[in-house]
Amino acid sequence: MEDAKAALLERFRAYLEEEPGAREGSDAGIDDKHETDAPDLFTLLAELAALKNEVKLESRQVKTALEQFRDLFDSLRQANEHLSAELSRRQQDARDIALNAERDILLELVELRDRLRDGRGQAAAYRPNWLAHASGAAEFITGMTQGLSMNLRRLDETLDRREVRPIQVVGQPFDPRIMRAIEVGRDPALPIGTVLAELRIGYRRGESLLRLADVIVNKFEDHPQ
């Protein structure tokens, strides 16, 4: 400890014994060194201006990149919307094709039902004579009538499972949306436009019209007394 104090005192004594000019020169050298190391104001402002321009340039590049990404995202969104619309349209077209195909089949079935009904009606109206009984034709007609009735019942069950049901029109006001007037009749007891009879059964499938009903519509002229 004493040695350290002695060394410090010796250095301080040596400093005091130095020439003043030497100390000033030494201090000036230190100041000049600090002044040389520190940038001047012009250089500092120039560097700040360069940094500002660089930041502006980078900001402009970032903005351009964002706009490009925005355009890309818009293009992707439009392409996705177009694809979704096209997919929906194709799905709807497929459903329409399936419905139209099924509609054609159902129309064929109701036409077949008309023929079965007419055939059963003719068979049921047949009145065999003694010769038909003797030859066995009467039994054949009876069996055929029963077979037609069974087939007609099965066909009605098939149509009912497909929600195909007949339209009730007799006694109703004429409705051109579901009916087609084939003939006119005259019944003063009923209002004008009332359906008097049905020539061909109309059908609905669910809430949609499958086939128009052909009807006879009441139409008469009032004669003044």
CATH classification at residue 202: 2.30.22.10
Please give the Cα distance from 153 to 161 (Å, whole number). Answer: 13
Full residue range of the structural domain in which residue 186 is found: 164-220
The number of angstroms, rounded, from the C-alpha of 223 to the middle of its chain's C-alpha atoms is 60
Q: Is the model more confident about 63 or about 27?
A: 63
Instruction: Please name the residue that has the structure tokens 């500092």.
Output: 44
Q: Say whether both 99 and 127 belong to one domain.
A: yes
- Strand order of the sheet with strand 179-185? 179-185, 213-218, 195-200
What is the mean predicted confidence (pLDDT) over 31-48? 61
Question: In this structure, are 71 and 84 located in the same domain?
Answer: yes
Lowest-pLDDT choice from 1-15, 21-35, 85-99: 21-35
Q: How far apart are CA 64 and CA 10, in angstroms?
A: 70
Residues 44 and 70 in one domain: yes
Residues 51 and 139 in one domain: yes
What φ, ψ does residue 178 adopt, rounded to 5°? Answer: -125, 0
At 16 the pLDDT is 56
Specify the DSSP element, H or E, that contains 216: strand 213-218
pLDDT of residue 33: 46
182/139 same-domain check: no
User: Which residue, among 198, 203, 175, has the nearest Cα to 103 in the 3D structure?
Assistant: 203
| Cβ atoms 178, 209 nearer than 8 A | yes
Entry field: residues in the chain: 225
- In order, the DSSP letters of 147-165 are HHHHHHHHHHHHHHHTTEE
Sign of the alpha-carbon dihedral angle for 176, 178, 179, 180? positive
Q: Among 20-34, 53-67, 126-140, 144-158, whose mean pLDDT is lowest?
A: 20-34
Q: How confident is the model at residue 223 (pLDDT cuts 50, 70, 90)?
A: very low
pLDDT of residue 54: 82
Percent of the chain whose pLDDT exceeds 70: 75
Residue 13 clears pLDDT 80, i.e. is over it: no
Cβ contact 217:184 at 8 Å? yes
Contact predicate 145/116, CB 8 Å: no
Please give the pLDDT value at position 215.
96
Whether residues 189 and 111 share a domain: the answer is no
Q: Which amino acid is at 79?
A: A
Total structural domains in the chain?
A: 2
Share of the chain above pLDDT 90, in %: 34
Task: Looking at the structure, tell me whether residues 65 and 106 fall in a common domain.
Answer: yes
20-24, 44-48, 123-127, 154-158: range with highest mean pLDDT: 154-158
Global pTM value: 0.55
More confident residue, 14 or 189: 189
If residue 200 lies in a helix (H) or strand (E), which one and from where to where? strand 195-200
Q: Is residue 62 part of a domain?
A: yes
Average pLDDT over residues 92-97: 82
When comparing pLDDT for 84 and 8, which is higher? 84
Question: Do 154 and 168 share a domain, yes or no?
Answer: no
Closest Cα to residue 166, out of 213, 222, 103, 116?
213
**Same domain flag for 65 and 176:** no
Residues 69 and 119 reside in one and the same domain: yes
Distance CA 152, CA 158 (A): 10
